[in-house]
Structure 1
Amino acid sequence: MKHLLAVTAFIAGGAVSALPVSAQDADVGAALYENTCAMCHGGMGKGAGELADLLTVAPPDLTQLSKNNGGEFPMGNVISVIDGRKGVRAHGAPMPVFGVVFRPGGAGPGLEYGNEVEARGRTLSLALYLESIQAE
């Protein structure tokens, strides 16, 4: 129920509830993950990306988010980290380098006009993908 409320609040907060957002899909999220996260977090999300050894703070195992949160996926927290509202020490603040792609109103590939709907769809797609790779 918390998951549904977080997603509903996230979408409604952007006043997009009446608009279809086809990017809200774990498959889209998988492609976004591969292009923006895997270099540090690893292809399987376990924190063993190609750049992990170069970082001063080791990337976390993203497959353990639910386990580390009492068995429930922390959807609201994950969305807040992805879109830059909540900083992460390893990131130095909001999401680095690619954060603008996920920030509502940001610029970036396909977001030249600050397309908030698309940014929110990307953010939710990535969060749904991360939820789908949680360890049992």
Structure 2
Amino acid sequence: MTHLPVLVLGTALAVALGTTAPAQDAESGAVLFLDHCATCHGVAAEGDGPMTAILSVQPPDLTQLARAEGGTFPLERVVRRIDGRDEVLAHGGPMPVFGMILGTESGLIDAFDGTPVFTTQAVVDIAAWLQTVQK
């Protein structure tokens, strides 16, 4: 994660200069999810992707994240899992880390307590799409 300090510094500088981070784009997130996540998590994010047959640890149904949290979508946790800051075990090892692969444009979300969480815009967009598919 050698690029994370640069990402954080760049986003912090943009905020300090009065510019705002791009808004979440769930449509872009849906495309990114299909390209990078659906192989394991399935097209509808229900944990039924074509790779599940060879994984020793099955991917979770991502449409149930809010339900598991009492109706609140765990946005910060989702972002941290996608960009690799929180380790997730899959197929006997860590989930592929997409944080640096998924674009270089800075993204920003607010944690549950209002603390800013810096990541890439692509990760923010995927999380935004996942929030729209909650059951």
Pick the TM interval, shorter chain: 0.7 to 0.9
What is the rounded CA distance, in whole Å, between the counterparts of 1:72 and 1:12 in structure 2?
30
TM-score (norm 1): 0.72
Gap regions ≥5 residues in structure 1: 1-10, 103-110
C-alpha deviation, 1:22, in angstroms: 4.1
What is the rounded CA distance, in whole Å, between the counterparts of 1:63 and 1:96 in structure 2?
20
> RMSD between aligned alpha carbons?
2.6
Report the structure, 1 or 2, having the larger helix content: 1
Gap regions ≥5 residues in structure 2: 1-7, 108-118
Aligned twin of 1:86: 86
Q: Cα deviations across residues 81-110 of structure 1 (Å, max 9, x unaligned)?
A: 0111001112623x41644314xxxxxxxx
Report the structure, 1 or 2, having the larger strand content: 2
1:117 paired with 2:106, answer yes
What is the rounded CA distance, in whole Å, between the counterparts of 2:81 and 2:70 in structure 1?
19
C-alpha deviation, 1:60, in angstroms: 0.4
TM-score (norm 2): 0.72
What percent of counterpart residues are identical? Answer: 42
Change (3 A) 1:131 1:13: farther
Give the conservation status (yes or no) of the 8 Å contact 1:14–1:116. Answer: no
